[in-house]
């Protein structure tokens, strides 16, 4: 599901394992994204709430973003 935010330019996608998804996207289609775990800290139990996510920064125009998002969707 998706809800357009009032502002911002980052999209957090739950992919199950953010680090694995980042490695797959870079090695298979040359797209760099950031694992959500890199932007969060583990809690007292050692659980990192960002671990299942990747963060996409949507700063380019639609002509560049659309094919990149299609590659991401097809790869993951």
**For residue 32, is it left (φ>0), alpha (ψ between -120 and 50) or beta?**
beta
Reported as a single tens digit per residue, the pLDDT across 45-56 is 999 999 999 999
| Mean pLDDT for all residues in the chain | 91
- Euclidean distance between CA atoms 16 and 62, whole angstroms: 26
Instruction: Tell me which residue of 59, 5, 2, 67 sits closest to 31, measured CA to CA.
Output: 67
Assess whether pLDDT exceeds 70 at residue 25.
yes
Q: Work out the number of other CB atoms within 10 angstroms of the CB of residue 21.
A: 22
Q: Give, for 10, the enclosing helix (H) or strand (E).
A: strand 10-14
Return the pLDDT at 34.
95
pLDDT value, residue 7? 62
């Amino acid at each position: 599901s998706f809800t357009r935010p009032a502002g911002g330019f980052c999209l957090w996608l739950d992919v199950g394992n953010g680090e694995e998804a980042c490695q797959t996207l870079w090695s298979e289609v040359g797209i760099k994204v950031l694992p959500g775990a890199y932007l969060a800290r583990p809690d007292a139990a050692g659980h990192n709430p960002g671990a299942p996510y990747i963060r996409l920064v949507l700063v380019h125009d639609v002509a560049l973003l659309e094919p990149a998002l299609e590659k991401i969707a097809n790869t993951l």
